[in-house]
Every structure is written in C-alpha cells, then in structure tokens.
Amino acid sequence: MRSLARFRVVLLLVAARRTGVSCAARRAALFRAFWLLVPALRA
C-alpha cells in the first residue's frame, strides 16, 4: 500500500514537470498544505 502511494507521488511529480513550472509549484504548495493538515487532523 505504501509503495502504491509512492508510485502515485512519482506520477504527480512527472505530470507536474510535464505540464509546467507554475503547475508544479501549485502542486508543491498543495502537497505541503496536505502534510500540514495531516497532524492537525490526527490531533
């Protein structure tokens, strides 16, 4: 299951690189926001 998640992250990175820098930056911001939300949801 963890390997599948890692595979999806790689796919997102490839897709972001393919679509352009602005989209990649947006995905990076969303990814960062997601990882900030995870501990908040657990608390």
The ranges assigned to domains in the chain are 2-42
pLDDT at 31 over 70: yes
Look at 10 and 20; give whichever has higher pLDDT: 10
Residue 21: which pLDDT band, with cuts at 50, 70 and 90?
Answer: low
Residue 1: which pLDDT band, with cuts at 50, 70 and 90?
Answer: low
pLDDT at 20 over 80: no
* Mean pLDDT confidence for 3-22: 79
Amino acid at 5: A
Distance in angstroms (rounded) separating the CA atoms of residues 1 and 20? 29
H helices of 1-43, where?
Answer: 2-19, 21-42
**Claim: this prediction has a pTM higher than 0.75:** no
